[in-house]
Amino acid sequence: MKNRTTTVSGVPVMKHVINAIVMGLVPIIPAMTGCTAKSERYVVDCWGSMQEALREGRTEGHVGLTRFDGANGMIAVGALEGLSGEVLVVDGDIWQSRVDEHGAAITTQGATSDDRATMLTAARIDRWREIPIDKDVSASSAEKFLVQAARDAGFDLQHPVPFMVSGTMLNLELHVVAGACPMATSHGRTDTKLRPPFQKSWVRSSAKLAGFLAERHEGTLTHHGSRMHAHVLVDQTPPVMGHIDSVGFAAGSILYFPNR
């Protein structure tokens, strides 16, 4: 992990984020192209929403990715402009995945001025608290485990909670969108080219994931029926990054929450 010495006040944020810091929490509202949520130690900023991109077909770019490049402590998850792929930012390292003409996922590191996200949730955390995972957590119980761990750590999931996990993932399943998402219908999707998404699974894999836990944000930050939106970078050659559909954790993995 990189050394994190910067503070939330050092984040290059838009004017509405600054207003949120001054005026207090601005709640996340469905079908908004931008939003902020302020906790005690961090600000969560988002652009676009699940509803807009996946159901309404509004997949225009809302934020450039280069603004996050090299920002210590920055994490972000989302989908690329046009639903052309996935994006993950871990400690200021930008990862993008797209599906090529053969149906394979191509994961690259970095971003150019042309790379934009249609949907993105981001937070900059100056310090992380490490919580060892002392026993295997099955994929079927992982979300419940993470939610309870966040509550035990004192977080209110009415506001999005950033988290990371590094170590060995169990029964990992991911996808990379290519205009079509396996977890949503395509209602209203008349302007976006739909192609089958890339999907892959591993029984055991070394990986790092980052994302957000939230309640009452289905359709905005999370898919319906889920309290988690997370992406994972699988440690293989070449690497594979994508949106998590299912994942468990092996004993010895490390869970990270913002240090309160």
Assess whether 20 and 138 both reside in one domain.
no
Residue with the larger pLDDT of the pair 32 and 250: 250
Q: Which of 108, 124, 140 is the last residue of a domain?
A: 124
Q: What is the pLDDT of residues 90-109, one digit of tens each?
A: 999 999 999 999 999 999 99
How many structural domains comprise the chain?
2
The whole-angstrom separation of Cα 138 and Cα 162 is 21
Ordered alpha helix ranges (H), the chain: 15-23, 50, 142-152
**pTM for this prediction:** 0.79
Q: What is the pLDDT of residues 189-232, one digit of tens each?
A: 444 456 789 999 999 999 999 999 988 654 556 555 568 999 99
What is the pLDDT confidence band of residue 84, given thresholds at 50, 70 and 90? very high
Mean pLDDT, residues 150-178 taken together: 94
Omega within 30 of 0 (cis) for the link into 238: yes
Q: What is residue 21's predicted lDDT score, i.e. its pLDDT? A: 29
What is the pLDDT confidence band of residue 62, given thresholds at 50, 70 and 90? confident
Q: Contact 65/93 with Cβ under 8 angstroms?
A: no
Residue with tokens 């290519």: 178
Q: What is residue 260's predicted lDDT score, i.e. its pLDDT? A: 73
Assess whether 175 and 145 both reside in one domain.
yes
Assess whether 63 and 163 both reside in one domain.
no
Residue with the larger pLDDT of the pair 62 and 110: 110
Q: Which of 73, 98, 124 is the last residue of a domain?
A: 124
27-31, 114-118, 151-155: least confident range:
27-31
Residue with the larger pLDDT of the pair 46 and 171: 171
The whole-angstrom separation of Cα 257 and Cα 260 is 9
Specify if 209 maps to a domain. Answer: yes
Assess whether 248 and 157 both reside in one domain.
yes
Taking Cα atoms as reference points, which of 52, 82, 47 lies closest to residue 62? 47
Q: What is the pLDDT of residues 10-53, one digit of tens each?
A: 333 333 332 332 233 333 333 334 555 556 678 999 888 666 66
CATH code of the domain in which 227 resides: 3.30.1330.80
3-state secondary structure of 166: strand
Taking Cα atoms as reference points, which of 247, 260, 162 lies closest to residue 213? 162
Range of the domain at 31: 8-124
Assess whether 147 and 197 both reside in one domain.
yes
Specify if 1 maps to a domain. Answer: no
Beta-bridge partner residues of 131? 255
Specify if 151 maps to a domain. Answer: yes
Q: Which of 75, 101, 124 is the last residue of a domain?
A: 124
